[in-house]
Amino acid sequence: MSEKWLYWFEELHSGHNELVGKKCANLGEMTGLGMRIPPGFAVSVEGYGRFMEQTGAGEMIRQYVRDHIDELKSVKNQTAASRAIRQIVESREMPPDMREELYRYYEELKLRAGADEIAVAVRSSGAVSMPGQMETYLNVRGRESVVRKIIEVWGSAFTTRAIAFRLEKGMPIEKAPIGVAVLKMVQARSAGVVLTVLPTIGDTSKVVVEGNWGLGESVVSGDINPDQFIVDKESGCVECTVNRKTKMVVYKDSGTTVADVPEDLQGKRCLDEQELKEIVRIAKEIESHFNCPQDMEWVLDCSGRCPENLYWVQARPAKFSKVKEKEADYLAELMTRMFKC
């Protein structure tokens, strides 16, 4: 094993998917492009492997899978397996040498953030793309909590959905290459997503921006109807839908909670024109850089003004429907088929 298993984002780029997972690799790439990324570091896939080996959890998981592999076709048994394997992982303590190195990075992160105490997000970063199947923890405070949440993210590589995914794809259940991103939380005024394609019809001439007050989890989860802005890439024309937003995700002492949106903000758009233009501008640049439509997450800090308060916490290839054939093309093809009959 390599000695190094923790990396600052600026040490990484998009070619490091296998090293730290796709989310961390892309955060490193965006850092290198000069985008505003909250300061943070990545726990590599090797860090996960080191934990599993040193604590004995890896061998216990392999034995469990060998003993139960014939039973794992049913959802009920997949759920039982998830519960048992996560218990194996999450009942282990971080080995002392790993714990001390994490402490050092966490203290350095506080220095980089210019604060005596900070809240961080601890986010899963799979080497294999499995969106929404592993855990993310927000507003984590204190080094002990950070260590604990990293272990819980590793455990979440064995959710029922993740186990079912591996079975469906013919992947070993016990093999879970996963990195972890630890990054400073932004004091979000508003947050959301931007896609450089209209995903329902595959229209790549449009950019779709959705947002809400508070943290972006209310938008990502689909729990509310966010504001939506559809922007033409060439003309800049905007179709604006401002929905009544009654709930938002905010910090509590530790973690997050759902709160009521103040009455005076419920019907107000969560992005002004300048903020929207800046989000669209950067999203188009990143699409050009990666040469494919992007699905990105943005956050606007409570303090400062745009563009200085605009941060990015994720970029990945967007999933979208194939463009439907134009009616004329369809009719031409249909006639060709008729003449061939």
What is the distance, to the nearest Å, from the Cα of residue 339 to the centroid of all Cα atoms in its chain?
Answer: 51
The residues that bridge with 298 in the sheet, in sequence order, are 192, 312
What is the residue-averaged pLDDT of the chain? 91
Summarize the confidence of residues 246-272 as an average pLDDT. 94
Summarize the confidence of residues 308-329 as an average pLDDT. 79
List the 40-43 sheet strands across, edge first.
Answer: 6-8, 40-43, 178-184, 119-126, 136-141
DSSP conformation letters of 193-233: EEESSBTTTTBTTEEEEEEEESBTHHHHTT-S--EEEEEET
Q: Provide the 8-state DSSP code for 271.
A: S
Domain boundaries, the chain: 6-184, 188-317
Summarize the confidence of residues 232-236 as an average pLDDT. 96
Confidence band (pLDDT; 50, 70, 90) for 324?
low
Question: What is the C-alpha to C-alpha distance for residues 209 and 298, in angstroms, rounded to an integer?
Answer: 10
Summarize the confidence of residues 163-190 as an average pLDDT. 91
Res 271: pLDDT: 96
Per-residue pLDDT tens digits for 13-62:
999 999 999 999 999 999 999 999 999 999 999 999 999 999 999 999 99
Res 150: pLDDT: 98
Per-residue pLDDT tens digits for 132-155:
678 899 999 999 999 999 999 999
Closest residue by Cα to residue 310 from 264, 274, 285, 284: 274
Does the domain made of 188-317 have the CATH classification 3.40.190.10?
A: no
41: left (phi over 0), alpha (psi -120 to 50) or beta: beta
Per-residue pLDDT tens digits for 106-120:
999 999 999 999 999
Kindly tell me the sign of the dihedral angle through the C-alpha atoms of 214, 199, 161, 316.
negative
Q: How many CB atoms lie within 10 A of CB 162?
A: 24
How far is residue 47 from each of residues 1, 70, 81, 104, 309, measured CA to CA in Å? 10, 30, 23, 15, 33
Per-residue pLDDT tens digits for 51-106:
999 999 999 999 999 999 999 989 999 999 999 999 999 999 999 999 999 999 99
The CATH code of domain 6-184 reads 3.30.1490.20
Q: Is the pLDDT of residue 236 over 90?
A: yes
Per the model's pLDDT, the better-predicted residue between 265 and 218 turns out to be 265
